[in-house]
């Protein structure tokens, strides 16, 4: 009996061991030998790629109180497709679709009939962007050969608002929608979605990939983009820029409003712009962003930078004087003041206040070619690193040559070409105690994991001493208080620093037009602790010569708007009542 | 030493059949749960998307209203410009420059 029991126990043990060995063998083949095949099979079975609906993260404006407002988001609705093989009456189907979905983006009547005639095909999309209600109403009609399918698409609630900066999404070289311009392109890695996360099988993940279920690498990468653009300020800037462009029939106009201490761009625009939600017939050239891609000769707004460089280098002081002769000859080229008039012996501040080219040239000569090149290369020699694609390089070729005329003309903003974003960054150094900051549009990423990741834009580049910057600021404040609009622009309780610029346009043959100009305007306030710096320009305005005529009202309108909107406290206590 | 013998109330075949039955029911239940989970996920997701679309519509209205207000020509609407502006001076004398 005992021997029989032992035999049975050993038999059972043997069977168990054999079974275990077989299972081990099977596991070896499943996991090691054919592991990859099974993994792929499991993926196909349990974690297939969803329904193919478009998915993408949002881009937000940020109101002054911190409220995010969508700049780019997703809209969902339906698309309509036809099956020509089962479509009975194309005319009736077209009428039914167009009447049921009046707001849809639909192909023309002729194109619809041509599509319906393609009897060899079974699926042709004929209408997009149907609202939820329209789509369901059309589906309820159950028209033979007409399919109503879910669809999602990129939607820009602001339409034209900051269009060039927000950017566009379209099919590029691949077969997937991706960001092509603006922030859509710069942050494509954050905004794009792999598409299978939504429909993934929880249990399949639990058994096959528990690590991803708990800590997903995508959740640490994918998210929404939060910009520093304030929608109301952006709206105001766009309105003002469009008005200037229309008033003077300019070729183009643009503007940037930035916090000079942080580099956060609060608004930026160029005109003409385009409607992000309707890009069918727009000029492709409009899709780019001239504020970062194009270079311009800005004219006299360069003078404060020349002045600050010389003050910083110690070759002049605000009290230094020079003899202004009205015109000078340098390397056989004639350089004159805007009104061709001589001023005699005058101090440095008059160069800024009266915008004297001869004075700026004199300062450049005092600074010397090497120092001048050093300062300008520091300011404009590198890209700003702004988070927009295709940033352009400044053209500083004249500063590599020995002819003094190149430095003299550069001192008042001719002969060197700069991008607007480089220019506002450099001018921001005067406003920010001599330190250049990194201009940027995005300050945070809201990750899908729920974490908000702040971006680091704290890198600064010292250019001038704080004292040199303050001395130039004094000159720019004096310009606003005494010269701009003959002193009427002065705000008694707010110090505002500004400088106008008028540059002749190049004629494409190595010379300049005598009657075509590029106007620019830069200013910041409160002048000694600035919250905002504003750069404006208008290219080739008609029937007007000076920037003080075209852009001063726009600049002052923006200054007053920003003071009111942000309740900027007064920084000086002068007389309190002025005529309107 | 006492003899030891194992007496089971059911045969091994019956036990195995029972276990197979339980496993089959569990498997079917698991499939049902997975399918329900997937359906709910899609439904909730679509619900979120619909809400996002509605919010985007509201945001669009807000931005359009803002643009309309900005573009309003108050002179054309019959409002006159103020005859004088009164500025509030800084309270602190240290702000004087």
**Do residues A562 and A568 touch, judged by C-beta distance below 8 A?**
yes
- pTM of structure: 0.84
- Sort out which chain B residues have CB atoms less than 8 A from A70's CB and list them: 55-56, 59
Nearest CA in chain A to B5: A5
Residue B94 touches chain A, beta carbons under 8 Å: no
Domains and CATH numbers, chain A: 75-156 (3.90.1310.10), 233-275+290-565 (3.40.710.10)
| Token reading at A389 | 């694609």
Contact flag A572-B93 (C-beta cutoff 8 Å): no
* Closest listed residue to residue A306, CA positions, set A387, A365, A257, A265: A365
- Sort out which chain A residues have CB atoms less than 8 A from B7's CB and list them: none
Contact flag B87-A150 (C-beta cutoff 8 Å): no
Nearest CA in chain A to B68: A235
How many angstroms away from the CA of A199 is the closest CA of chain B?
Answer: 6
Report which DSSP code applies to A29.
I
Query: In this predicted structure, which of A128-132, A195-199, A354-358, A484-488 has the lowest mean pLDDT?
Result: A195-199
Q: B75 pLDDT band (50/70/90 cuts)?
A: confident
Phi and psi at residue B85, in whole multiples of 5°? -110, 135
**Do residues A185 and A179 touch, judged by C-beta distance below 8 A?**
yes
pLDDT, residue B15, reads 84
Nearest CB to B49; choose among A74, A159, A239: A74
Q: Which helix (H) or strand (E) holds A325?
A: none
Mark which residues 23-82 of B lie under 8 Å from A by CB.
30, 33-34, 37-38, 41-42, 45-46, 49-50, 52-53, 55-57, 59-60, 62-64, 66-67, 70-71, 81-82
Q: How far apart are CA B94 and CA B16, in angstroms?
A: 92
How many angstroms away from the CA of A528 is the closest CA of chain B?
Answer: 9
Phi and psi at residue A73, in whole multiples of 5°? -145, -165
Q: How far apart are CA A306 and CA A413, in angstroms?
A: 9
Best residue in B8, B49, B74, B96 for a mutation probing chain A (most A CBs within 10 Å):
B49
- Sort out which chain B residues have CB atoms less than 8 A from A159's CB and list them: 60, 63-64
Contact flag B56-A75 (C-beta cutoff 8 Å): yes
**CA torsion sign, B62 to B66 to B68 to B74?**
positive
How many angstroms away from the CA of B62 is the closest CA of chain A?
Answer: 9
DSSP-assigned beta bridge partners for residue A445: A225, A453
pLDDT, residue A195, reads 60
DSSP string, B30-47: HHHHHHHHHHHHHHHHHH
Q: What is the mean pLDDT of residues A161-187?
A: 90
Q: B70 pLDDT band (50/70/90 cuts)?
A: very high
Highest mean pLDDT among A15-19, A116-120, B79-83: A116-120
Q: Are strands A223-227 and A59-62 parallel, antiparallel or unpaired?
A: parallel
Q: Angle between the A404-411 and A357-367 helix axes, to the nearest 10 degrees?
A: 120
Nearest CB to B52; choose among A69, A74, A577: A74
| Token reading at B41 | 């996920």
pLDDT, residue A82, reads 92
* Closest listed residue to residue A233, CA positions, set A388, A61, A437: A61
Query: In this predicted structure, which of A341-355, A462-476, B3-17 has the lowest mean pLDDT?
Result: B3-17
pLDDT, residue A205, reads 64
Q: A259 pLDDT band (50/70/90 cuts)?
A: very high
pLDDT, residue B6, reads 62
DSSP-assigned beta bridge partners for residue A578: B85
Residue A249 Cα to chain centre, angstroms: 25
Nearest CB to B70; choose among A1, A239, A528: A239
pLDDT, residue A48, reads 38
**A341-368 confidence digits (pLDDT tens):** 999 999 999 999 999 999 999 999 999 9
Query: In this predicted structure, which of A12-16, A313-317, A447-451 has the lowest mean pLDDT?
Result: A12-16
Residue B96 touches chain A, beta carbons under 8 Å: yes
Per-residue pLDDT for A212 more than 70? no
Q: B96 pLDDT band (50/70/90 cuts)?
A: very low
**Do residues A513 and A507 touch, judged by C-beta distance below 8 A?**
yes
Phi and psi at residue A507, in whole multiples of 5°? -95, 5
Per-residue pLDDT for B90 more than 80? no
**B18-38 confidence digits (pLDDT tens):** 899 999 999 999 999 988 998
Query: In this predicted structure, which of A111-120, A214-223, A273-282, A506-515 has the lowest mean pLDDT?
Result: A214-223
- Sort out which chain B residues have CB atoms less than 8 A from A152's CB and list them: 49
Q: A450 pLDDT band (50/70/90 cuts)?
A: confident
Alpha helices in chain B (DSSP H): 12-71
**Do residues A125 and A105 touch, judged by C-beta distance below 8 A?**
no
**A430-446 confidence digits (pLDDT tens):** 999 999 999 999 999 99
Q: What is the mean pLDDT of residues A535-557?
A: 93
Per-residue pLDDT for A411 more than 70? yes
Query: In this predicted structure, which of A149-153, A227-231, A498-502 has the lowest mean pLDDT?
Result: A149-153
Between A166 and B9, residue with greater pLDDT? A166
How many angstroms away from the CA of A70 is the closest CA of chain B?
Answer: 7
Between A362 and B78, residue with greater pLDDT? A362
Contact flag B84-A577 (C-beta cutoff 8 Å): yes
Cα-based angle A459, A460, A463 (whole degrees, multiple of 5): 160
Q: How far apart are CA A109 and CA A90, in angstroms?
A: 10
**A18-51 confidence digits (pLDDT tens):** 888 888 888 888 878 887 777 666 554 443 334 4
How many angstroms away from the CA of A112 is the closest CA of chain B?
Answer: 28
Chain A, chain B: beta-carbon pairs less than 8 Å apart: 124
What is the average pLDDT value for chain A, to the nearest integer?
90
**A299-327 confidence digits (pLDDT tens):** 999 999 999 999 999 999 999 999 999 99
**Do residues A394 and A293 touch, judged by C-beta distance below 8 A?**
no
């Amino acid at each position: 009996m005992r021997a029989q029991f032992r035999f049975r126990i050993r038999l059972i043990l043997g069977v168990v061991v054999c079974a275990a060995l077989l299972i081990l063998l099977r596991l070896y083949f499943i996991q090691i030998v054919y592991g990859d095949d099974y993994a792929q099979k499991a993926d196909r079975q349990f974690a297939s790629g969803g329904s193919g609906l478009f998915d993408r993260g949002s881009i937000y404006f940020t109101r002054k109180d911190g409220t995010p407002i969508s700049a780019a988001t997703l809209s969902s609705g339906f698309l309509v497709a036809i099956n020509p093989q089962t479509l009975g009456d194309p005319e009736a189907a077209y009428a039914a679709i167009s009447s049921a979905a009046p707001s849809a983006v639909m192909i023309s009547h002729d194109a619809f009939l041509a599509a319906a005639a393609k009897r060899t095909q079974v699926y042709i999309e004929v209408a997009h962007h149907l609202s939820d209600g329209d789509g369901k109403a059309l589906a309820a009609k159950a028209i033979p050969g007409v399919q109503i399918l879910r669809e999602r698409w990129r939607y820009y609630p602001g339409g034209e608002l900051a269009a060039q900066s927000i950017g566009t999404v379209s099919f590029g070289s691949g077969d997937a929608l991706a960001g092509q311009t603006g922030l859509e392109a710069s942050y494509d890695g954050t905004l794009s979605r792999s598409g299978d996360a939504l429909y993934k099988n929880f249990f399949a993940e639990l058994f096959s990939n528990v690590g991803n279920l708990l800590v997903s690498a995508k959740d640490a990468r994918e998210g929404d983009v939060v910009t520093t653009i304030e929608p109301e300020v952006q709206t105001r800037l766009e309105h003002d820029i469009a008005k200037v462009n229309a008033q003077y029939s300019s070729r183009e106009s643009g503007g940037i409003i930035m916090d000079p201490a942080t580099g956060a761009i609060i608004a930026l625009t160029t005109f003409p712009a385009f409607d992000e939600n309707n890009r069918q017939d727009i000029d492709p050239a409009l899709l780019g962003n001239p504020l970062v891609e194009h270079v311009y000769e800005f004219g006299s707004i360069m003078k404060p930078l020349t002045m600050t460089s010389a003050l910083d280098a110690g070759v002049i002081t605000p009290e230094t004087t020079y003899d202004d002769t009205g015109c000078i000859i340098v390397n056989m080229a004639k350089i004159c003041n805007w009104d061709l008039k001589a001023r005699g012996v005058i101090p440095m501040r008059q160069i800024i206040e009266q915008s004297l080219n001869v004075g700026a040239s004199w300062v450049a000569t005092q600074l010397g070619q090497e120092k001048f090149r050093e300062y300008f290369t520091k300011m404009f020699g590198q890209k700003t690193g702004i988070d927009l694609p295709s940033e352009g390089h400044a053209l500083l070729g004249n500063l590599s040559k020995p002819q003094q005329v190149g430095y003299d003309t550069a001192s008042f903003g001719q002969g060197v070409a700069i991008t607007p974003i480089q220019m506002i960054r450099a001018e921001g150094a005067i406003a920010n105690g001599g330190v250049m900051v990194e201009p940027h549009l995005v300050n945070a990423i809201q990750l899908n994991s729920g974490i908000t990741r702040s971006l680091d834009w704290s890198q600064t580049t010292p250019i001038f001493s704080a004292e040199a910057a303050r001395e130039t600021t004094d000159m720019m404040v004096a310009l606003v208080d005494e010269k701009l609009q003959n002193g009427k622009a002065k705000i008694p309780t707010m110090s505002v620093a500004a400088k106008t610029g008028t540059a002749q346009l190049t004629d494409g043959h190595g010379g300049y037009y005598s009657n075509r100009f590029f106007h620019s305007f830069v200013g910041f306030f409160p002048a000694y602790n600035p919250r905002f710096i504003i750069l404006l320009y208008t290219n080739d305005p008609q029937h007007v010569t000076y920037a003080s005529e075209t852009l001063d009202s726009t600049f002052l309108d923006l200054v007053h708007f920003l003071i009111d909107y942000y309740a900027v406290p007064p920084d000086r206590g002068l007389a309190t009542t002025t005529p309107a | 030493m006492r003899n030891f013998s194992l007496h089971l109330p059911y045969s091994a075949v019956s036990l195995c059949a029972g276990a197979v039955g339980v496993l089959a029911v569990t498997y079917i239940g698991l499939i049902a749960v997975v399918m329900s989970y997937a359906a709910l996920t899609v439904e909730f997701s679509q619900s979120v998307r619909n809400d996002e679309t509605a919010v985007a519509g509201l945001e669009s209205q807000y931005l359009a209203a803002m643009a309309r207000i900005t573009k309003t020509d108050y002179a054309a609407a019959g409002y006159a410009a103020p005859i004088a502006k009164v500025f509030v001076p800084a309270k602190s004398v240290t702000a004087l420059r």
